[in-house]
Amino acid sequence: MTDALLIDRDDRGVVTLTLNRPEVRNAFDPGLMSAIRRAVEELATDPDVRVLVITGAGEVFSAGADLTWMSSVMDYSFEESVADSRHFEAMLRAVDEFPAPVVARVNGHAIGGAAGLLGCVDVAIAVRGAKLAFTEVRVGIAPAMISAYVQPRIGVRHARRYFLTGERFDADRALHIGLVSDVCAREDLDATVGDVVAQLLAAAPGAQRETKALIREIDRLDREASQDLRLELIARLRAGEEGQEGMRAFFDKRPARWVPTGT
């Protein structure tokens, strides 16, 4: 695997994936997304994997989309944008459908797609003080790809606020809305994650996998029917007037035209 993703496995069958791009705050780019997807898909075939832990190097979980990648997608054709978004969807789905328990060790801020990734895990533990946000509307697009994973987790009421404002909220608020499962002090993060992993390891692995599949079947949304809609929406908005303006404003470090003066 690429150095952008570190893989560690202990003798209990606990595998830790570490997003390892601290120079860009562990931001997602096509290379990192592909590495995560490949690693998760390969590990999914290994019955000896008991728990998958996902975390970030340094003090940030992930800042979301890499700026260089964001800049390049502004010039994508509709077809290229759909294909690009399909890679992100494949990563989210691989994590969401992983057969063994998945724990997010949220060691710092999780923005945009990184906050969306938390909708795909079974347990998310965040450090107090971490900031989270679904910032897509602030750059003229929509949380189209993550919506199918996050909205079932936080509910329509909270999605209506945080998807529509794009505002940042802290880990305690994320706990309140259901995006994360636990919040702890930074110095307690490893111990808290360790406690949860120990609880997961106390369960029968076969029964646990069957139970996880049962949960998914009971509560599954019709994602197949919505996938084309979400892929096409993100492609259309990226190429649209607001998407282009929002991303240009971001890179120009100025307010987008729809931001009220003084905000």
Domain ranges of the chain: 5-186
Quote the CA–CA distance of 165 and 156 in Å, as a whole number.
Answer: 14
State the average pLDDT over residues 166-194.
98
Q: Closest Cα partner for 33 from 78, 77, 2?
A: 2
Q: How confident is the model over 55-107, as pLDDT tens digits?
A: 999 999 999 999 899 899 889 999 999 999 999 999 999 999 999 999 999 99
Pairing of strands 51-56, 182-184: unpaired
Quote the CA–CA distance of 236 and 48 in Å, as a whole number.
Answer: 42
pLDDT interval class at 225 (50, 70, 90): low
According to the model, what pLDDT value does residue 263 have?
Answer: 58
CA 253 and chain centroid, separation: 25
Quote the CA–CA distance of 47 and 209 in Å, as a whole number.
Answer: 10
What is the architecture, at CATH level 2, of domain 5-186? Alpha-Beta Complex (3.90)
Q: How confident is the model over 136-166, as pLDDT tens digits?
A: 999 999 999 999 999 999 999 999 999 999 9
